[in-house]
Amino acid sequence: MTRQPSLNVGLVQQSCCDNRQENIDRSIAGIRQAASQGATLVVLQELHTSLYFCQTEDCDRFDLAEAIPGPSTEQFGHIAKELGVVLVASLFEKRAAGLYHNTAVVLEKDGSIAGRYRKMHIPDDPGYYEKFYFTPGDLGFQPITTSVGKLGVLVCWDQWYPEAARLMALAGAEILIYPTAIGWDPADSKEEQARQLDAWQTIQRGHAIANGLPVVSVNRVGLEPNPEKDAPGAMFWGNSFVAGCQGELLAKAGDKQEEVLVVEIDRQRSEQVRRIWPFLRDRRIDAYGELTKRFRD
């Protein structure tokens, strides 16, 4: 199969509500729009079939989880096949009773499951009580091979860890992809909100630079209330973006509205950039053993 010199990537930034079917319909509408604009790879945000339920610890929320393969992979697989796109979906996976994962699933153009990635880094912070729900991933940092290339799929909190991006790059990933659910505490000052957003963009652009790979980050948008009525909820900040191999911003969505972006990525840039910035060549792998320790006392 002849490799195309460029790849059109669609990003579906959406808001979510407490109606599962309405969320799925919004995702599918975004996929269709991206495909109509020429996307052959479409990426959805983290946990796009429901509200972000991790704002509180509630055992009833485990009812949202599903098997993989299951209803969502079947439905989104049909859409991928119909439109001829590779699709990155993000699901709450029920692996067994009492064993759940935050899982990204890649669906091939024929609707089959190309692979999955289980979120490795699990946060536990006010409004983000993910350790209550998710078991840390056990599939490692392994790119998923598809008809559009080797996809280094990671999930949200993983995006803050240079080790995760590096290991995906070393395993042959051609693009780094981050389905995401991150937002502001509405009580934070405007200055603090600006610092957080800037840090989020900067760290991921840094992964692009350090590894000579494009980065695709797709975030949800809109205010989602906290079930505990006296809590402020989460204002998801959108700002989905694509960065090139030198960290340059190729496209960026806004912070308030649902948007679909389609961005052309030059497949040859990684080779060109890595020749002039040969970070992989100059790594001192003989001196990095301490990285496997929690801290150097």
Bridge-based pairing of strands 41-44 and 6-13 is parallel
Q: Tell me how far apart the alpha carbons of residues 51 and 60 are, in angstroms, rounded to a whole number.
A: 14
| Largest CA-CA distance found in the chain, in angstroms, rounded | 57
13 touches 260 (CB < 8 A): yes
What 3-state class would DSSP assign to 186? coil
Cβ-based neighbour number of residue 67 at 10 Å: 13
The neighbouring-strand residues paired with 101 are 93
Catalytic residues: 46, 119, 156
User: How many CA within 13 A on the CB side of residue 64?
Assistant: 23
Phi and psi for 244 in degrees, rounded to 5? -85, -175
